[in-house]
Amino acid sequence: MANRCEICGKGPQFGSNVSHAHNVTKKKRMPNLRRVKAKVDDQVKYIYVCSRCLRSGAVKKVV
């Protein structure tokens, strides 16, 4: 599955888990992507879009 939004370009973010004892481990947060059927360049195709773009109306779903 793709790990980047095709509308806004949002991808994985990297950081660290820090415990109370200050043990640091690597962490990777993935965007909340959905595979939707949308109209792109006068064509209907499936694209991967983050839930923020769907909610804001940046992409219109095709029924």
60, 2, 58, 57: which is closest to 33 by C-alpha? Answer: 2
Is 49 in contact with 8 (CB distance < 8 Å)? no
User: Where are the domains positioned within the chain?
Assistant: 1-63
pLDDT tens, residue by residue, 2-54 = 799 999 999 999 999 999 999 999 999 999 999 999 998 889 999 999 999 99
pLDDT at 53: 94
Q: Does domain 1-63 have CATH number 2.30.170.40?
A: yes
Residue 58 pLDDT exceeds 70: yes
Question: Environment class of residue 52 by beta-carbon count within 10 Å: exposed (0-12), middle (13-18) or buried (19+)?
Answer: middle
